[in-house]
Amino acid sequence: MAVTMRHVAERAGVSVKTVSNVVTGYPHVRPQTRERVERAIAELGYQVNLSARSLRQGRTGIIGLALPELSLPYFAELADSVIRVAEQHGLVVLIEQTGADRARELEVLHSERRRLTDGLLFSPLALEPDETALLEVGYPLVLLGERIFDGPADHVTMANVEGARAATTHLVERGCRRIAVLGAHEGERMGSAVLRLEGYRAALADAGLPFDPALVGPAGAWHRSTGAEAMARLLDTGADVDGVFAMNDALALGALHTLHLRRVAVPQEIAVIGFDDVDDARYSQPPLSSVSPGREQIARTAVQLLVERIAGSVVAPRRVVADFEVAARESTAR
């Protein structure tokens, strides 16, 4: 059925190895031999069998990307970027969804499928920072998104604390004094929620504003619906609020939704800023201010680190924090 190197070799009247040499670009092949082989390849429509090559070389050219859910815009956009960057390195991307579930995250880390990928980009949500031992895997691993201290793996993270601080300060600068925060995770000790809360508190401190627990709106999943609900709960408590920092854009967009329903003017009565700067933020009503965490840069860096790990050229774990900026739009224009 399939055309193999042997067929090409016979057709071109050379050995199989010579065909291999031509295919892989080995320099010492006489031009006329090379041409003969190339003609045979074209005529037969030969393509290398990547399984065989993988077996022989111990590499597959595939990297894994494990993330919570593709239907979350931030991760979809991240995946988009990762795929593009990987392609520039001649790699393809196999995506696995963990649903932010601890068991699935562990499964992904140790699955048989890891034997199929040269390395893994992993965006953990459920694993706790003191579980770094679980990250002692026997293959190239680069973590995305959170800050995990002293782990054995490379790590590319967005500036969670600083970004949140900048977002909150942005609200302060626009005159907000009673700033709520949406998306807190109560029991957690690490992860974006904790870090962004930390940044929020730091900004309040910078401005000499008190931290008021009544202004903290918890939300387990960071979806629009939970953002809408958290905002509603907050308004229902009668809390006096003039600014909202939502820990991601989905939450912020959900909050905008609630504010719209309740006829609260944004940004006049309450200013809103999000985090992630997903494409949608630009098109909400009003357009949403947000912290742009450098998604492209994260993807580029992460793939780069992984490629270096795969090549085996590094030993010590590395941390990279991507640059961020505050994208100011109408939702905080006052």
Partner DNA sequence: AGAGTCGATTACATCGATGTACATTAGCGG
Partner DNA sequence: CCGCTAATGTACATCGATGTAATCGACTCT
138 binds DNA (CB under 7 A): no
Q: Is 192 helix (H, G, I), strand (E, B) or coil?
A: helix
Question: Segment contacting DNA (CB under 7 A): 14-22, 94-102, 272-280, 312-320?
Answer: 14-22
Binding positions for DNA, 36-75, rule CB under 7 A? 46, 48-49, 52-53, 55-58
**CA within 13 Å, CB half, 24:** 13
User: Are 193 and 126 a contacting pair, CB within 8 Å?
Assistant: no
49 binds a copy of itself (CB under 8 A): yes
Residue keyed to tokens 């600014």: 243
97 binds a copy of itself (CB under 8 A): yes
The correct pick among 25, 28, 71, 150 for binding DNA (CB under 7 A) is: 28
Binding positions for a copy of itself, 51-70, rule CB under 8 A? 51-52, 54-55, 60-62, 69-70
The correct pick among 83, 190, 209, 264 for binding a copy of itself (CB under 8 A) is: 83
Distances (CA, A) of 214 to 8, 79, 185, 241, 253: 74, 36, 14, 10, 21
| CA 207 to the chain's CA centroid | 31
- Strand order of the β-sheet with 216-218 is 216-218, 179-184, 243-246, 271-275, 289-292, 325-327
Considering only the C-alpha atoms of the chain, give the largest distance between any 2 of them, rounded to a whole number of Å. Answer: 85
Residue 24 or 71 with smaller CB distance to DNA: 24
Residues in the chain, overall count: 334
Question: Segment contacting a copy of itself (CB under 8 A): 33-41, 79-87, 187-195, 208-216?
Answer: 79-87
228 is in the binding site of which of a copy of itself, DNA, none (Cβ under 5 to 8 A by kind)?
A: a copy of itself
Tokens in use for 187? 């029991």
Residue 52 or 311 with smaller CB distance to DNA: 52
Which residue, 60, 52, 64, 189, is CA-closest to 121?
64
Which chain residues interact with a copy of itself by CB under 8 A? 47-52, 54-55, 60-62, 69-71, 73, 76-77, 79-80, 83-84, 92-97, 112-116, 224-225, 228, 253-254, 256-257, 260, 279-280, 282-285
Which chain residues interact with DNA by CB under 7 A? 2, 4-6, 13-18, 20-21, 23-24, 27-30, 33-34, 46, 48-49, 52-53, 55-58
